[in-house]
Each structure stands twice: as structure tokens, then as C-alpha cells.
Structure 1
Amino acid sequence: MITTTTTTSETVEGRQVTQIIGIVAGHAVMGTNIFKDLFAGLRDIIGGRSGSYEKELRKAKELALKDLEEEAESMGADAVIAVDLDYATIGGDEKTMLMVSANGTAVKLG
């Protein structure tokens, strides 16, 4: 599988889906620490972007997509189409975890 054929669209330009293999998923749960939470809390008060959380979200997205692609490859897929990314937080005020889930359809291309 070529990772560039992982797409949010339902088609791959110039290629035809010849077989739907099945649904695949990838997940990444990233822990945050007290310092990131403290600075993010300050950003809530004074405004602005939280670079540390943004960096963790990007990293979690990359890991979830890699996990999704590896699952599709193990099933013999050429591509993953209709990829959907979902973001969530897990935990309470004291311990927050960031979660990214990537879901899509593994397919064979002709």
C-alpha cells in the first residue's frame, strides 16, 4: 500500500476501486502533563493558541493514521478511502489524555 492513497474522499483519482476489503481503524491516545495543562489553562484566560497541545494533536493524528495504514496493509489493501478523523479528550481536570481515532475503508484498486 502507498500511504499517499490514504484519503478522506471516496475515490482515488485515476484509479478504480475493484474490491472493498473492510473497515479499518487506527487510534492514538496521548498523555498530557501538568505543565502543558497549566500553560493551556493560562491560554484559556489570556487568549492565544496552545502550541504544546497542537503539537500533541498533530503527533496523535500521525500515529493514528500510521496505525490505520498498517492495519489496511496487513489485510492486503492498496488504499484506504473515506477516512474520518475524530478527536476527543479523556479524563478529568487532573489527568487529561488526548485521543485521535482514524477510521476508513480498506480497498483494492484496479
Structure 2
Amino acid sequence: MIVSTTPTIQNRTISAYKGIVCGEVIIGAHIGKDILASFTNIVGGRSDAYEKTIRETRDGALDEMMRDAERLGANAIVGVKFDYQVIGQSGSMMMVAVSGTAVILD
């Protein structure tokens, strides 16, 4: 499955638009990650624990969107857009939503 943020795929023709497809994943952060992130915030640097969580969440949302496109008979998704939101009481959860247009490429 070709997945692109662009509205077209170079050297390919879109023969059919199958519809909008989406994937959403919400994941809660746990206290261990919060403690590690707090320490990183104090001393500076990157938070590997949170970065890993964001990657896993993003990949899960992409997988869900691609399954949605496959159910529609698409072989590509164009115009993909990612949205990241912190939700829940005290921002304890992260949501990654991804959407695009499922298409058939010739």
C-alpha cells in the first residue's frame, strides 16, 4: 500500500477515489514514563520513553487507516494528515489520528 502526504503519486494515475479513511489510537502514559520524562525535562535531552510511545501510537493509527483502505479495495492513500492531541484529565493520554483519501492507482 502506497501512503503519501501528497495529493498525487508521481508517474501514477488515480483511476478511482474510494473515500476518506482514518485511523485513531489513544494511549495512556504510565507513571514510569512520567518519571523518566520529568528527569529528562530537568537535565535536558530527548525522552526515549515518550518518543517510543508516540512512534508506536502513530504506527498503530497508520495500520488502522491502511486496513480501512484495503477494505474499500484501495491500493494507495493520498493526502495523508496526522493530528496529535493530548487528552484526558491532566493530559494523561495521547491521541494520534491519521486520515487520507483511499484511491486506486493504475
* TM-score (ref. length: structure 2): 0.92
Which one of 56, 60, 63 corresponds to residue 57 of structure 2? 60
Consecutive unaligned residues of structure 1, counting only runs of 5 or more, are: none
Which one of 101, 106, 109 corresponds to residue 97 of structure 2? 101
How far is 1:108 from its partner? 1.2
Which one of 7, 26, 33 corresponds to residue 10 of structure 1? 7
Count residues with an aligned counterpart.
106
**Which digits, 9 at most, give the CA deviation of each residue in 1:59-82, with x for residues without a partner?**
011110000000010011111001
Distance 1:14 1:59 in 2: 32
Alignment of 1:25 with 2:22, yes or no, is yes
**Which digits, 9 at most, give the CA deviation of each residue in 1:30-59, with x for residues without a partner?**
121111011212222221111000000000
SS in 2 for 1:105: strand
Identity of matched residues, %: 39
SS in 2 for 1:81: strand
The AA in structure 2 aligned to 1:109 is L
SS in 2 for 1:29: strand
Match of 1:38 in 2: 35
Alignment of 1:71 with 2:68, yes or no, is yes
Calculate the aligned-residue CA RMSD, in Å: 1.3
SS in 1 for 2:24: strand
Which structure 2 residues correspond to residues 72-87 of structure 1 after superposition, within 5 A?
A: 72-87=69-84
* TM-score (ref. length: structure 1): 0.89
Match of 2:89 in 1: 92
SS in 2 for 1:71: helix
Match of 1:50 in 2: 47
Distance 1:30 1:44 in 2: 21
